[in-house]
Structures are given as C-alpha cells and as structure tokens.
Chain A
Amino acid sequence: MKRLLHFIAITALIASAGYAYSIKYETLFYVEQVAKLKSKVQRERDALAVLQAEWQFLDRPDRLQAAADEHLDLQQMKIQQLARLSDLPNRPSREDEIGRKLEALGLLEPTATPKDKTSDARTPSTQTPKR
C-alpha cells in the first residue's frame, strides 16, 4: 500500500515536472514568436513611415505645381467658375424635346427600311471607294 502511494507520488511528480517543462518550452517558443512579430511590426511601421514621408514628398504642392505647369495645358481657375452645390438649379422635369420636334415635323412614324441592298441604298461610307 505504502509503496503504491510512493509510486503514485513519484509518478505524479515526474508527470507534473514534465508538464511544467513542456509549458516552459512552449512559453519560450511563444515569447520568441512574439518578439519576432514585434520586430516585424516595427519593421513594417518603419517602412510605413518611410512610404508616408515619400508620398508626402511626391505629393508636396510645389512639386505638383511644377509638374502641372510642365505637363498640363490648364488655365488658372477663375473665381467666377466657383459655385456651391446649393447654387445649382434644380434638375428640370425630364421631357423628350427631340421627340416633340419630330412630332411637330410629322416625322415620328417608324422609318421605312430599304428593301434592296444595292450600293446606293446603303449608308454612304466615309472612306474613298477603291478604284
């Protein structure tokens, strides 16, 4: 009986020690992982800072102005061209103005399609025919 108890106690001791060691090594592993990720995050952050600075460097107003002057054929904006959204008139009610004109001219009937496909019935081409 006593021997059994000793055996159980020793086994429990070894098992718990083993478990503790496995936990410890796992912790070490994760700590390393965390450190790696941290340094990776830091590297990404640094890269981000560099890219942000570069973006601002490329996006700086005097460079944009120089580029616009060189490559674009735009005029200086006039104050008269400015308007607020509230200054715009409301959208007019939609109506078919072209249709009304056609109706007034009596042309609203369906178009007669030409039956024969000879050359003069075709739409005139914009290209010079070959001779």
Chain B
Amino acid sequence: MPLTSQPVHDLQQKRAPRLSILGHLRELFRMRVDKSTARVGLAAICFAGLFCVIGGRLIYLAVTSDTSSEMRRVTSSEISAARPDIVDRNGEILATDVKMVSVFAEPRNIIDKDEAVELLTAVLPDLDASDLRNKLGTKKGFVWVKREITPRQQAEVHRLGIPGVGFLPENKRIYPNAEAAAHVLGFANVDNVGIAGIEKYIDSQGLQDLNGAGFNITSADLKPVELSIDLRVQHALRDELQKGMAKFKAKAVAGAIMDVNTGEMIALVSLPDYDPNNPVDALADDRINRINVGVFEMGSTFKALTTAMALDSGKFNINSSLDARAGLRYGKFTIGDYHATHRVLTVPEVFIHSSNIGTARMALGIGVEGHKAFLRKMGQLTRLTTELPENAEPIVPGRWGELNTVTIAFGHGLAVAPLQALMAVGALTNGGNLIKPTFLKRDAATALATAVPVIKPETSEAMRYVLRLNASNPAGSASAAAIAGFFVGGKTGTAEKVIHGRYSKNKNLTTFTAVLPADKPKYVFLTIMDEPQAISGTYGFSTAGWNAGPVTGDVIERVAPLLGVPPRFEPPAQPFPLMSRLGAWGTR
C-alpha cells in the first residue's frame, strides 16, 4: 500500500512547490505527521533515549573529575600533605617542603611476593625483610615500602621492574637552620603532620581539615607563615647562651627577647635543644622549652612586680622608706637579706640592694588580697596561652596566707613560666600596657588594640628608673649587663632550687631581666640558668649577678646592633623627668 501511494504524493508535491522558492524551503522541512506518525514517533523515542544517554554521560564526567582514578583516591589520604613555608620576620626560610620520592606496593598485584621481598631488600638494605613480607602478605590495596628514598635508590628500584611496585612524590619537611629555632618551630612527622610548636599551631588553624576533606593542596597555594623571630638574633642568642652554659657548667640555659611595644618574640632559645630534622630526642625531659613549658620560682626578678604594685597602689611612693634594720620575723620564720644593709632604705635602695625585708614590707602594706589581685591582673596566676601549643600552668599556693605574700613578694613560693614573667616586665616598662606575647609578626597598632592597661604610666617610669639605677649604680646588681652606649636597665634574680621539698643552699636557678634602652624601652631580655656553678672568676659565687648577668650582657652587646638599636655614648638629657622632679634617691 505505501509503495503505490508514494508516487502519487510525489506527483502532487511536484506540482505544488513550483509556486515559489519559499514553498521549496517549507517542503524541505515539513514533517509528514499525517502519514507516518508511528515511524516518526519511534525515531523520536530513539533520539530522546540517545540524548538521555549523552546527557547522563556528560553529568557523570562533570561530577567525577578525570584525575580521580582509583590509585589517586587511595594515595591521597596516605601521602604527606603540603605545608606552608615558615619564614622569619625578614623573610629567611625557617621551614620548607621539598619533594621526595617514596616507594609503595600494591600487594594484590604482586605475583611473586617472596621474590619481590628479596629484590627490594637487596636494593634497600635497611629494610626489614620479615616485616616487608608481612606487609606484602596483607590484602590491602596499598602499603608503603619505604618513605623518602634517594633518586639513586629510586632508579635501582625502578630497574627491578617488579609489577605492583611504584613511586609517589611526597612532601618532606626540612628545617635548613637545624637547631636554631627548634623550640619555636616544633617539628612535623613523616606524614607532614605538625607535632609540636608552630607546626602544630599551623595544623590547628585548619590545614589538616582541608587535607582530610580531600583537597589537593600544593605548597604554592599556601601563604608562608611569617614569624616574629629574627633568625640572626635567634642564632646570636643561642650562640651566647651556649658559651655561657659551657662557661658556668649549667645544667640548662634559656633565653628570650621580646619587643615590649608589640609583644613579638624576637628570639627564644632553650638549651639543650634538638634538631627538628631528626627529632628523636625532642620529647626527652631535659629538652623541654623552659621559657614557656617549665615553671620556675623567679627569685628577685619578681621584686620588680612587687615594687610596681606598691608604687601603683598609691600607698607607697618613690621616696617611701622601709625599715630593713633587722630581719622580718613572721611566726617561726625570719626573712633576712642576702646583701644585708641594716638601715632604713628608700624604695630605689630596696630595689638595687635587692632587699627581701623591704620588698616583703611593701607586699604586707598592700595585703594578701591586693597582692593576689595585682598578680592576677599581671597574668601571673593563670595559664598563658600563645601560638605555641605547649604551655604550663603556674604553681600557685593552695592556701595563700600572709607568709605566702611575704615570700612571693621576693619571688619564692609562686612558680610561673618565664614567658609570663617576661610579659609582666614588658608591661611594667612599656608604659603600663600588658601585651600578650606572640610568635607571629604584627605591628604596634594591632598589639595596642589587644593591650590591657595594668599600671599607671608614672609607675612605669618609676620602674624604668629603678631598673636603670640597678645597672648604673655601683651598688646595683645588674652592672654586669650595663653595656656602654645602650642605657640598659636590669634586675637579677637568684632562686634556691627545691630539692626533696627543701630549698637547697648550693643549687640555684638564676635569672636576669634586662630592658633596653631604659629611657624608652624597645626590648626586654630574659636569661635563665639552671644550676650554674661558681667558677674561678666569680669568687665562689653562683648568684645571678655573676652568671646570668654577664651572659645577658654578652647577648645585649651582640644583639643590640642587629636589632637596630643605635648606641648613644652621651646619656639622654632627661631620661626620667618625673623621678628627678620628685627627687628620688639616686637622681642627685
């Protein structure tokens, strides 16, 4: 039937379209729905199906990216992730990633496992054969054979041609400066996960979460982390402390330098330290970061806090006199002076003679509650948290009576992290703003926004005055660090160590705090020495003025030019205007 009808249609059509060219075109695109509905319908269904298939495939391709092969997915969770570079305040690299090749195996695809083990151990001799055999015996899709091999080993393993054994480039964390800033940087493990220090801090800022979510981050995408540390200063400090440690045969030495106006830590050294490239002994007990993990009784350095408290309260002024003629009896205890003067002292004299009696009297004048409140305000009673994840809680006496106030006044009976004490000294000298120390670079404006005013600017000037007096007056204990040209102020501190619950007479922890320059402070220095010994030049003394003081002096002499502090050989004209107006002891 269709065969006969077709020519008829054609004839009819041939006649009709002769009318115009428009008609031709219309004829070309006309669908003959009237005659072959079924066939067109079938074709339509076919095409619709085809388009569905194509569309589906497109969606599939768009959703699953072409790089996500099976292997890639397995390894992305295994290979060590990229980490941002860590640079110092001048842009010197402190930690960076380099690409290293690691060998992996797919146990399912290895045909002869024993042969593979034999060949691999022949090329990589430090592999444990039985351990490797066990690893290859599992049904896992992916096991590491050896991480971080040399290019030569890679070539040799490649030449073995074992099916199911391959290579993957990995990021290896390296610390080119080795020990220089070990305690600040911390370290990362073989999987490039931060274990300690700033490395751990970086991870806590969300880097590991990104990696866990499967984002493939390269180190080029990551902005370098800028620390406040100055590598040159850091090295100089470490070098000087190392010399001091050897000279005074100390068990441990630590030092820190802080910018008092921004709270930036310019350097932090704790000896003995470790090499973050090979941190096998990083977690040993004597390698702790003594500046912010250890807590110590800071000794006479704490007298600066007591003096500031007394002056700031208004109950004492710079000309107040304190009776130090005889020991201060408290119950069955008698508080005596190390450098006894047996006379009535003014506040600056109490400070430079480091009189326990005078300082204790100041604290008693304030009272227990006032003392506690002041120390809490100065951040000495609570845990100080910085970017470094390691920190320690101060050891505060459980029942704080008057006797505690008396001893804490001169630095015994309250153990704090040295970083806390440094923060407090910074606040005492910078005009009275307590700024939390940071290990990241920042400017003074940002620091000031977070600063808490704790003492009056006048009290701060008085503190700078007594610190300077302690270094410039011949009777003061800080003269060893009074490097000419830098107008240094400082305070020594010697705390007897507690051995078996008693204060030991010959084992000391000596500290030295210096402020530079004293008229307009920019930096504070802190040095701690654990059990320094009396040596031939120190006349049998092992107190801070004989060891921590001179070491800090050496540090200042070497570091101050690096910090850009210009030397001035004429003393400033009016360094402490208020003090000279009040006629404080030592101004005339």
Does any Cβ of A come within 8 Å of B161's Cβ? no
Write the B448-461 contact mask toward A (1 if CB under 8 angstroms, else 0). 00000000000000
Query: With A and B bound together, what is the CA distance between A113 and B375 in angstroms?
Result: 90
Does any Cβ of A come within 8 Å of B28's Cβ? yes
User: How many B residues are at the interface, by size bracket?
Assistant: 20 to 34
Taking a contact as CB atoms under 8 Å apart, the answer to whether A56 and B93 are in contact is yes
| With A56-B92, A79-B484, A82-B561: A46-B566 Cβ-Cβ less than 8 Å | no
The one of A54, A62, A65, A79 in contact with B561, judged by C-beta atoms closer than 8 angstroms, is A79
| Nearest CB in chain A: distance from B559 CB, A | 11
- Residues of chain B contacted by A49 (CB below 8 angstroms): 96-99, 219
CB neighbors of A among B516-561 (8 A): 557, 560-561
Taking a contact as CB atoms under 8 Å apart, the answer to whether A52 and B557 are in contact is no
Does any Cβ of B come within 8 Å of A20's Cβ? no
CB neighbors of B among A53-81 (8 A): 53-54, 56-57, 60-62, 65, 77, 79-80
Chain B CB count within 10 A is highest, among A62, A77, A79, for A79
Query: With A and B bound together, what is the CA distance between A60 and B177 in angstroms?
Result: 5
Write the B155-175 contact mask toward A (1 if CB under 8 angstroms, else 0). 000000000000001000010
Taking a contact as CB atoms under 8 Å apart, the answer to whether A61 and B93 are in contact is no
- Residues of chain B contacted by A50 (CB below 8 angstroms): 98-99
Taking a contact as CB atoms under 8 Å apart, the answer to whether A79 and B483 are in contact is yes
Taking a contact as CB atoms under 8 Å apart, the answer to whether B231 and A61 are in contact is yes
Does any Cβ of A come within 8 Å of B146's Cβ? no
Taking a contact as CB atoms under 8 Å apart, the answer to whether B567 and A79 are in contact is yes
CB neighbors of A among B71-106 (8 A): 92-93, 96-99
Does any Cβ of A come within 8 Å of B287's Cβ? no
Write the B219-245 contact mask toward A (1 if CB under 8 angstroms, else 0). 110000000000110011001000000
Write the B304-344 contact mask toward A (1 if CB under 8 angstroms, else 0). 00000000000000000000000000000000000000000
Taking a contact as CB atoms under 8 Å apart, the answer to whether A60 and B178 are in contact is yes
Does any Cβ of B come within 8 Å of A45's Cβ? yes
Smallest CB gap from A76: residue in B: B558
Smallest CB gap from A86: residue in B: B566
The one of B176, B232, B567 in contact with A56, judged by C-beta atoms closer than 8 angstroms, is B176
Taking a contact as CB atoms under 8 Å apart, the answer to whether B178 and A62 are in contact is yes
Taking a contact as CB atoms under 8 Å apart, the answer to whether A82 and B566 are in contact is yes
Write the B1-42 contact mask toward A (1 if CB under 8 angstroms, else 0). 000000000000000000000001000100000000000000
- Residues of chain B contacted by A56 (CB below 8 angstroms): 92-93, 96, 176-177
Smallest CB gap from B219: residue in A: A49
Taking a contact as CB atoms under 8 Å apart, the answer to whether A53 and B93 are in contact is yes
Taking a contact as CB atoms under 8 Å apart, the answer to whether B28 and A5 are in contact is yes
| Nearest CB in chain A: distance from B558 CB, A | 8
Does any Cβ of B come within 8 Å of A122's Cβ? no
The one of B24, B220, B483 in contact with A45, judged by C-beta atoms closer than 8 angstroms, is B220
| With A2-B24, A79-B485: A61-B566 Cβ-Cβ less than 8 Å | no
| Nearest CB in chain A: distance from B180 CB, A | 7
- Residues of chain A contacted by B239 (CB below 8 angstroms): 62, 65
| Nearest CB in chain B: distance from A39 CB, A | 11
- Residues of chain B contacted by A82 (CB below 8 angstroms): 561, 566-567
| Nearest CB in chain A: distance from B52 CB, A | 23
Smallest CB gap from A42: residue in B: B218
- Residues of chain A contacted by B176 (CB below 8 angstroms): 53-54, 56-57, 60
| Nearest CB in chain A: distance from B10 CB, A | 12
| With A50-B98, A53-B98, A53-B176: A61-B485 Cβ-Cβ less than 8 Å | no
| Nearest CB in chain B: distance from A74 CB, A | 14
Chain A to chain B contacts (Cβ below 8 Å), 16 pairs: A45-B220, A49-B97, A49-B219, A50-B98, A50-B99, A52-B93, A53-B98, A56-B96, A60-B176, A61-B232, A61-B236, A62-B179, A65-B235, A65-B239, A79-B560, A82-B566
Q: A56-B92, A56-B93, A80-B567 are in contact. List 16 more A-B contacts (CB 8 A).
A: A5-B28, A42-B218, A46-B98, A46-B99, A50-B98, A52-B93, A53-B98, A56-B176, A60-B176, A60-B178, A60-B180, A61-B180, A61-B231, A61-B236, A62-B179, A62-B235
